[in-house]
Amino acid sequence: MLSFIIAFYLSAADTYHEKDYAAAWCAREGGITEYVLPDKTRVDCLLPGYAVEFDYGKKWAESIGQALYYGLMTHRAPGVVLIVTDPMKEFQFIARLRAVADIYGIRVWVIGDEIFQIN
Q: How far apart are CA 94 and CA 118, in angstroms?
A: 26
**Residue 53 CB neighbours (<10 A):** 28
pLDDT tens digit string along 57-98?
Answer: 999 999 999 999 999 999 999 999 999 999 889 999 999 999
Q: How far apart are CA 109 and CA 119, in angstroms?
A: 21
Q: How far apart are CA 32 and CA 76, in angstroms?
A: 14
| Residue 1 near residue 17, CB atoms below 8 Å | no
- Domain ranges for the chain: 16-116
Q: Record the pTM.
A: 0.84
